[in-house]
Amino acid sequence: MSGPEENVEPAELAPAAKAELDRAFEDFYRAHLRDVYSYAYYKIGNHHDAEDLTEQAFLQAYRHFDRARRESHGRPLRPWLIRIAHNLASNYYRDRSRRPQSPLDESAPIAARHDTVAIAEGREELRQVMANLEHLSDDRREALIMRFALGMDNREIARALGRSDGATKVLIHRAIKQLQEEMSDDRAE
């Protein structure tokens, strides 16, 4: 019998235990698919790579899901899952820096035309925000993505980033302040 620190592969479980684990993971997957994909997309900026990263995150989560549930003591597992996605995204950037990019990889998709001025202005503002996010440090950018794109609370973000609640609150405050300053500088130019 395995202890609480050991990770038991899902295939090694008894059939009834594996069926229960699969049902629980299916619910977990449905509840968090959008969050993981959104995080990956905001982090990577590419639809296809975000899908791949999302798939990898859930495959990794599935392998360790039973142990994570036991060790969570009832706490939400979303920060754990986002941390997996975070680590995979970091690997993605590290691997990508080792291989050259073609200009096609950097091209933006062609936007569909819209007649509404408000939509165009909203998209321009979103484009400016996304561009200015690139000026933030990785930890500040990730904290803002988790807070505003994923709707995570400070405690979840703290767990995902491995920080204290207080340090996370300060991180988010400084990130917002820096982003506001960047946006003000853009408008002044």
pLDDT in the model for residue 1: 43
Backbone angles phi, psi at 13, to 5 degrees: -75, 160
Mean pLDDT by 10 residues, the chain (189 residues): 56 80 94 94 88 95 92 91 92 66 50 58 74 85 87 89 92 90 77
Render the burial of 65-89: b for 16+ CB within 10 Å, e for the rest: bbebbeeeeeeebbbbbbebbbebb
pLDDT in the model for residue 81: 95
Angle between helices 78-97 and 47-72 (to 10 degrees): 140
Residues 123 and 90 in one domain: no
- By C-alpha distance, which of 62, 35, 32 is closest to 151? 35
Q: In terms of residue numbers, what domain contains 89?
A: 8-98
CATH number at residue 159: 1.10.10.10
CATH number at residue 52: 1.10.1740.10
The model's pLDDT over 95-116, given as tens digits with 9 standing for 90+, comes to 665 555 544 455 555 455 555 6
Residues 12 and 92 in one domain: yes
Residues 144 and 92 in one domain: no
Domain termination residue (choose one: 31, 63, 98) = 98
Please report where in the chains the tokens 């069926």 appear, as a residue.
Answer: 19
Give domain status of residue 163, yes or no.
Answer: yes
> 7 Cβ partners below 8 Å, 6+ apart?
63, 64, 66, 67
Q: What pTM did the predictor assign?
A: 0.61
